[in-house]
Homo-oligomer: A and B are copies of this chain.
Amino acid sequence: MNREMRELKGRLSEIHDLESAAALLQWDQATYMPPGGGPARARQLGTLRRLAHEKFTDPAVGALLERLAPQASGLPYDSDEASLIRVVRRDYERAVRIPAEFMARFQAHQAESYEAWARARPANDFAAVRPCLEKTLELSLELAGFFPGGAHPADALIDFVDPDTTVAVARALFADLRARLVPLVRAIASQPPADDACLRQSFPESDQLRFGTEVAGRFGYDFERGRIDKTRHPFMTSFSIGDVRITMRAREDDLGDALFSILHETGHALYGQGARRELEELPLAEGTSSGVHESQSRLWENVVGRSRAFWSFFYPRLQEVFPAQLGNVPREAFYRAINKVEPSLIRTDADEVTYNLHVMMRFDFELALLEGRLAVRDLPEAWRERVRADFGIAPADDRDGVLQDVHWYAGQIGGMFQGYTLGNILSAQFFQAALRAHPRIPEEIAQGVFSTLHGWLIENIYQHGRKYRPAELIERATGSPLTIEPYLGYLRGKYSGLYDLALGAPARAE
């Protein structure tokens, strides 16, 4: 490794340390921090992120990248060093457009806004966070404004997390998906509803956590390099490849809430733990995009965790943990309960079929807010109307409406939601590719064995970190560009086995 490369890596590693420290401050804020710590924490996060940004946008970094560019072109495209130069150069060119002063202001606002939301949501008090959210919209537009030339202000914001996906691309994709999902939702809605009363009993939190921990461990989550803590809104975060944590939230009256959120975050964590050690401390040791990250959480949560094969192994174990609650519930009844499709108010509780309608609603609101077609003050009512139109159910209060997701309150408006639907689509596309390579995967899952699937995902996705752009990674791993067909095939196959649907799909094909 030559001197320039060493210097670049040294600088990147220092920046990574600052960012990891900031991530820990944020994890702490969401798990253990006492309320009195809030104001100082906001300042501290602002300082760390500002310093990281200042150090990354130092012209010396740009000069190093310039000098290293000719070397990179002589190296194999997928070598660590060529990839590092390519990815960091793209990050650098984006970062230098954002003033450090703006970053500090934005991060401080986000921390304050998160605290305000954490108070306002239980109190159902949108008015209390409205000024925060209005400022977030302003700041989101200011951020987008540093990247002029896009067809839509959201293009730049989406590009931060889902490169290769513009507003135009997402709109077309989502319109296509929506056109084919809505008939499926309607066909299911015309059937007698599934009975999920078995999930709405009393399940002690500690037992839920114990079972979730067992499943996460079997999936391959390494607890020597991770842990699970309680929070309001579950998330995965990473401070190094050796320390990738998830958080959970349990409801004693709803078995599904904690269980599937643990499986979901475990999927993210497997991606985080699966990066090659050589990428440690470098900007390559992360997921390549929000959509690909979400594909892993949804693959483990839904494609695996809500499958018949999975529960043929785990249901007897779950019954052992909750004998009084589930001892007399047949496995098939439980399987139908966890796959019940019904219009609902909460995105994270939604079934696989209606889930994307929640996402598309939020995506559309982001565009409308950024375009000025919708004002923040009108958002609660717009939300209620859209819930009525899409789901045909009574408007929620704001707690279960516009206040339900943390994203706009701890982040920005724009680019926050498209990744969820991209992830759903990709979860099926990746799983289909893994099955092509290893047709015995479903039988292994039915034995509680996940190593072949986990191994294929490490090999084709996790180990690479951010080395490949999402479009490259998808093409390499699955042999085709992103496509909604495997996902629709998966949904049709699964739900025509659960409901009596005249969809022309093979019955009970799952």
Contact = CB atoms under 8 A, between A and B. Distances in A.
Given A21-B21, A25-B24, A41 B239 contact: yes
Number of copies: 2
B222 A40 contact: no
Contacts of A22: 21
Interface stretch (A29-37, A58-66, A404-412): A29-37
A13 to B, nearest CB: 7
A378 interface: no
B39 A242 contact: yes
A280 interface: yes
Nearest to A21: B21
Which of A22, A229, A242 gathers most chain B CB within 10 Å? Answer: A242
Interface residues of A, number: 40
A43 interface: yes
B21 A48 contact: yes
Contacts of A20: 40, 44
A487 to B, nearest CB: 34
A243 B43 contact: no
B224 A40 contact: no
A231 interface: no
A34 B280 contact: no
B222 A36 contact: yes
A427 interface: no
A36 B227 contact: no
B17 A242 contact: no
A40 B51 CA distance: 19
Interface string A216-232: 00000011111101000
A240 interface: yes
A38 B243 CA distance: 8
A47 interface: yes
A281 interface: yes
